Amino acid sequence: MTWIGWKPLTTLLMALMHPFYVSVIDINHNEKEANLEISVRTFTTDLETRIEKEYNVKLDLSDPKQKAKAEEYINLYVQKRLALSPNGVKGKLDFIGFEIQKESTWSYFEINNIKQLKQLDVFCEILFGIDPQQINILHVKANGQKKSFELTAPKNRTSFTF
């Protein structure tokens, strides 16, 4: 019997168990720090596929030797595919980092100098182009309220009011 290792086996199982394409974007207004904390969760293989296609690079997000390259391309990709406009002003996404948890990649960003959040306009095309049924689920917490919305491709914009 030949041992093929866990990563190829895990990838095969994920491909069989991964019939839908979804990302989850959590946005939290931290009043104390006066910022928006943004977490983007995607299936790692889907994110690698989009980055490879978009930037014509080969990338293994789980390879520690490629960490700097992975950070660069995750930042480039998300900056291009996610735009947040708190209170009508386009925010600057500052990349904090990323981590892999099981089959998912969590990417972290923040937008500074947001003392109050009354409205948040969102443009999101995370993973668009992999599958026509791509879904981006947005969860926004602000002013003691939690609101959620589902963007299904090709719909790429929504707004939240608090």
CA triple 115-119-122, angle to 5 deg? 110
Contact between 115 and 53 under an 8 Å Cβ cutoff? The reply is no
For the residues of 64-83, what is the DSSP string, one character each? GGGHHHHHHHHHHHHHHHEE
Question: Minimum mean pLDDT among 19-23, 68-72, 153-157: which range?
Answer: 19-23
Mean pLDDT (the chain) is 89
Residue reference for tokens 């993973």: 127
The residue-averaged pLDDT of 78-91 equals 97
Model's pTM, two decimal places?
A: 0.85
pLDDT band with cut points at 50, 70 and 90 for residue 133: confident
Contacts of residue 81, defined as CB under 8 A and 6 or more positions apart, other chains included, come to 124, 125, 126, 127, 128
Any idea where the domains of the chain sit in the sequence? 21-161
Contact between 28 and 37 under an 8 Å Cβ cutoff? The reply is yes
Task: Give kind and range of the element (H or E) at residue 18.
Answer: none
First and final C-alpha spacing in the chain: 60
Quick one: what percent of the chain has pLDDT higher than 70? 88
Contacts of residue 64, defined as CB under 8 A and 6 or more positions apart, other chains included, come to none
